[in-house]
Structure 1
C-alpha cells in the first residue's frame, strides 16, 4: 500500500509498504479516506519533532471499516469511523487513574510517531480507539474531531465562562479552531495572525482579527471594556511573553502551539499577585466522544478544512500549509489553514 513514511530529520517519503493486517481479536482494519495535517506533522517535516525511522506519520485519520476481529462487538464492517491517536499502555499508575495522556510508556504508543499512523491506505488498531461517526457528519468534519477534543480539553480546564474575553495568538489550524470554540463559549473572541490569508480566514470567525503589531494595549482597552483579556491562548508556540503582557488579573494563559526551542521568563510575584494560571493540559483526555457530540452543533467545522490534496501530492500539501517549499526552503504564500491528505 502507499504510505508516507518518516526517513530521517526533515525527510519523509511516499513508499509502497506492506498492508497491515489484524493481529489481535480486538482489532479493527480501516480503509483510510483521508487524514488531516496536524501541527505535529508539520513539526516532524520541519525537523522540530523526531519520529521513529520507518514509521508511517499522520494521526487525524478517518475512513471505512473493512474488517474486524472476532472480539470486536461495537463496530461493524462498513462503519464510517475516526481514529483516536491518544493511546496508552493501560496498566501504569497514570493509566489506572484514567490519565492516559500521562502514560509512563506513552512514547511507545504515539500514533504517527512511534507506531504507524494514518497517512496510508489502511490502518489497523484496537477497537477502543476507533470511533463510529454519525451518518450525517462529513469526512472533513470528522477529521477535525481530534484537534477539537484538544481545544475542548484546554478550554474546559481553563473554565471558560460566557463573560470571558479570549485572545488567540495565531490563526493557523489550532488557533482558528480555538476561535471557533471560543465564539460558542465566551463573550469576546480576538485573533492575531501575521499571514494575510490566515488573517482573512480568522476575520470570518473571531469578533476581531488583526496583525500582531495592531493589537496595542490601547486597542485592547478599546475593544474589551478597558480591560486586558481573561484568557489568552498561544497557538503559535512562542508567544507566551505576549500573553503575560496582555493577561488580566485572575486570567488564564493556555500554551497550545509547540516550539521546543522557545523559552520565556516571568516574575513569580506577578503570577501570585495577579492570580494568574497557566493551563498546560492541551492533549486529549478521553475527549473524542465529547468532541463528536459538540461538533454536531458547529456546522462551520467542516469549513476548517480549507484544502484537500491527494497523498501523492504531499509535498505540495505541506508546502502550502507551512508557507515555504518543502525541499528548497523557498518562501511561498500560505494557501490553507487546514489541509487534508486524501487517499
Structure 2
C-alpha cells in the first residue's frame, strides 16, 4: 500500500509498505478514504513535534471497514468509520481516572507520531476507537469530527454562554472551526488573520475579522461595545500576550495553538483581581461521539474543507497550508484553510 512516512527530521516520503493486518480479536481493518491535514502534522514536518522514524503520519482518518476481529461487535464490514486518535494504555493512574490524554504511557500510543497513522491506504486499530459515520454525513464532514471535538471541548470547558463575546486569534483550520462553533454558541465572534486568503475565508464565518497589523485596541473594542472579551482563544500558539490584552473581567483564555518555543510573562495579581482563568484542558476531549452528534446539525461544517488532494500529491497539499515550500523553505501564499489527502 501507499503510505506517507516520517523518515527523518523535517522529511516525509511516500513509500510502499505491506498492508497492516488484524492481530487481535478486537481489532478492525479500515480502507482509508482520506485524512485531514492537522497543524500537528505540519509541526511534525517542521520538526517542532517528535515522531518516530518509519512511522506513517496523519491522524484525522476516515474510511470503510474491510475486516474485523472475531470479538468486534459495534462495527462490521462495509461500515464507514471515524478513527479516534486519542488513544492510551488504559491501565495507568490517569487512564483509570478516565483522563486518557494524561496517560503516563501516552507517547507509546500517539497515532501518526509513535504508532502508524492514517496517511495511508489502510489502517488497523482497536474497535473502541472506531465510530460509525451516519449515512447522511459526507466523508468531508466526517474528517472534521476529530478537530471539531477538540474545539467543542474547548468551549464546553470555557463554559460558554449565549451572552459571551469571543475573540479568536488566528484563522487557520482550528481558528476557523473555533469561529464556527462560537457563532453557534456565543453572542459575538471576532477573528484575526494576517493571510489574505484565510482572512477572506474567516470573514464569511465571524462577525468581524482583523489583520493583526491593523488591529488596535480602539477598533477591536468598538465592535464589542467598548468592552473586552469574555473568551479569547489563541489558535496560533504565540498570541497569548494579545489574549492578555483583550480579556475582560471574569474572562477565560484558551491556548489552543502549539508552539513549545513561545513564552509569555504574566502577573498573577491581574488574574486574581480580574477573575481571569486560563483553560489548558484542550487536548482532553474524548468526545468524538458528542462531536459526531453536534456535526449533524451543522451543514455549514463541510465548507471548511477548502482543498482535496490525492495522497501522491502530498507536497502540494502541505505547501498550500504551510505558507512556504516544505522542501526549499521558499515563502508561498496560502491557498487553503483545511486540506484533506484522499487515498
Q: Secondary structure at the match of 1:221?
A: helix
Deviation at 1:96, TM superposition (A): 0.8
Residues 144 and 284 (structure 1), Cα distance of their counterparts in 2 relative to 1, 3 Å cut:
farther
How does the TM-score come out when normalised to structure 2? 0.99
Unaligned runs of 5+ in 2: none
Q: Secondary structure at the match of 1:271?
A: helix
Matched positions, count? 343
Unaligned runs of 5+ in 1: none
Query: Does the 8 Å CA contact 2:240/2:264 hold for their aligned counterparts?
Result: yes
Match of 1:131 in 2: 131
Query: Does the 8 Å CA contact 1:237/1:259 hold for their aligned counterparts?
Result: yes
Match of 2:10 in 1: 10
Match of 1:108 in 2: 108
Match of 1:154 in 2: 154
Query: Does the 8 Å CA contact 2:19/2:122 hold for their aligned counterparts?
Result: yes
Q: Secondary structure at the match of 1:3?
A: strand
Match of 1:208 in 2: 208
| d(CA) in 1 for partners of 2:307, 2:259 | 25
Deviation at 1:154, TM superposition (A): 1.0
Q: Given the alignment of the two structures, is residue 52 of structure 1 paired with residue 52 of structure 2, yes or no?
A: yes
Query: Does the 8 Å CA contact 2:173/2:338 hold for their aligned counterparts?
Result: yes
Query: Does the 8 Å CA contact 2:99/2:284 hold for their aligned counterparts?
Result: no
How does the TM-score come out when normalised to structure 1? 0.99
| d(CA) in 2 for partners of 1:224, 1:286 | 33
Q: Secondary structure at the match of 1:161?
A: coil
Match of 1:82 in 2: 82
Q: Secondary structure at the match of 1:21?
A: coil
Deviation at 1:215, TM superposition (A): 2.6
Query: Does the 8 Å CA contact 1:149/1:284 hold for their aligned counterparts?
Result: no
1:131-189: per-residue Cα shift (whole Å, max 9, x none)? Answer: 10001100110000000000011110010100000000000000000000000000000
Match of 2:40 in 1: 40
| d(CA) in 2 for partners of 1:269, 1:123 | 50
Deviation at 1:285, TM superposition (A): 2.6
Deviation at 1:213, TM superposition (A): 2.6
Structure 1 residues 65-80: aligned runs within 5 Å: 65-80=65-80
Query: Does the 8 Å CA contact 1:10/1:44 hold for their aligned counterparts?
Result: yes
Query: Does the 8 Å CA contact 1:220/1:227 hold for their aligned counterparts?
Result: no
Deviation at 1:284, TM superposition (A): 4.1
Deviation at 1:37, TM superposition (A): 0.1
| d(CA) in 1 for partners of 2:233, 2:337 | 17
Match of 2:258 in 1: 258
Q: Given the alignment of the two structures, is residue 97 of structure 1 paired with residue 97 of structure 2, yes or no?
A: yes
Query: Does the 8 Å CA contact 2:89/2:95 hold for their aligned counterparts?
Result: yes
Structure 1 residues 289-308: aligned runs within 5 Å: 289-308=289-308
| d(CA) in 2 for partners of 1:230, 1:215 | 18
1:29-83: per-residue Cα shift (whole Å, max 9, x none)? Answer: 0000000000000001111112001000000000000000000011010000010
| d(CA) in 2 for partners of 1:342, 1:155 | 30
| d(CA) in 2 for partners of 1:39, 1:116 | 18
Match of 2:247 in 1: 247
Deviation at 1:23, TM superposition (A): 0.1
Match of 1:278 in 2: 278
| d(CA) in 1 for partners of 2:138, 2:215 | 36
Deviation at 1:221, TM superposition (A): 2.5
Structure 1 residues 168-179: aligned runs within 5 Å: 168-179=168-179
Deviation at 1:270, TM superposition (A): 0.7
